[in-house]
Structure 1
Amino acid sequence: MTDAHDPADHADPAEAVDRAAAADRAAGAAADGPPALRFPFDATALSAEPLRTERLVLRPIEASDAADVYEYQRLPEVIRYLPWPERDRASGFEHTAKRAAGRILAADEDFVFLAATLPGEPSTDDPARDRVIGDFMVRVSSVQHARLELGWVLHPDFQGRGYASEAAGAVLDFVFESLNPHRVEAFLDARNAASAALCERLGMCREATLLEEEYNDGEWQDTAVYGVLRREWAAARGT
């Protein structure tokens, strides 16, 4: 007889757990099937029938929202975490008009911005209109791989009241229910603790930190990557 040892006697339990987790992920991915985005999607329909939450109304942003948008677009504490330069009023209005032109989701890099309006709060330039207190982006990361990206910005005067969670949760649910992505992701300045906490409340997991990915405001900045798969979203909602 030899004195050879069975390799199983020295198996690493952590490796076994990792293999089991990988097998579960592979099985889940196979069950999800191939990419099947419901494209093209025309967000103009959301102008007539906007998304409604308990306190907010979400509809495509319009060029006429520029005054409200500029009220947060111009603030240093807002643009600190966004890839936005400082803009004067004229260039800010032009930027809002360009964002408002996005209506169709059909190809990579297509985008739609949804204005979050607060009923009963008058607009800064037209008391007859409800004020836009923030906006929420849906952008196509990859049609081929059924990946969509979310982004958001909210006026600081309206932060700390749950509006961001309320709106972002509604947008995330709409995206999964109506557009059928395999994955939804968010990319944010790694210093942005508030947005990181929002991602986690939405059920998104921090998957990576891209070190010194961008050079903004005179310094190299890290990017945090968050994501959630369709089956994870469905499980969290019991669907």
Structure 2
Amino acid sequence: MSDKMEVYYFSPTGGTKKVSGIFAAAVGKEAVWHDLGDKQTVIEQPQGELIAVAAPVFAGRIPSVVREKIKMLCGEGKKAVAIAVYGNRAYEDALLEMNDILMQAGFTVIAAAAFVAQHSIVPEVGAGRPDAEDEKEIRAFAEAVKNSTSAENIHVPGNRPYRPGMNVQVTPLSLPSCTACGACAKICPTDAIANEDGKMATDAAKCILCMACVHACPLQARILPPPLQQKTDNMLAAFRDIRNKNEVFL
């Protein structure tokens, strides 16, 4: 393999970037980074022979912004590694969906993995992950990829048809302390947020509930509606004290 590896990633709250950063460093190649969440960046076709695609898991699927952008890539027999990052609940069909898209684009998916990171909506779930133990497992996976001579697609768990995608009916909202600085609109990968008469409004038809806007707000003036936050807290309560595992496929 060449000395370069291209990494296509979407990391609205930082967890996926951290996982993919550990992985890329351990592979030991010069990494060329492509931020799939940057709406200003034109998706460039891979030039090297190895790419990694890393995405968070949203309700058992990969986010639509990732799905649509990696469909634009042309594999031409290049090798790919798929990485799904999930919030300690489950990754369900996300890894299979990512593998399917990459293979349909002409890539050979030689390895795949699902790693845990802190949950983006309920940070008490998976708190502190990826931690030292996770980092060790990510590095071991990277070492296996680096030494791989595989020329065949690997198999990963999941179901076809995939589970239904996330249906966003409510969106993050701005508190009275919001100054309409525009940080949320700038970071939003789907252009769902706009300044309307001095207030930041969110289009539910465009919002994918990625939480990038909440994470980016310098005044912490962006939150989920309390009923939705409470409902999600209750739904994930059982996962607060569970350490779900990372899974690799080689």
TM-score w.r.t. length of structure 2: 0.28
Higher strand share: 1
The higher-RCO structure (CA 8 Å, 6+ apart) is: 2
- The two structures have a TM-score, normalised by structure 1, of 0.29
The structure in which a higher percent of residues are helix is 1
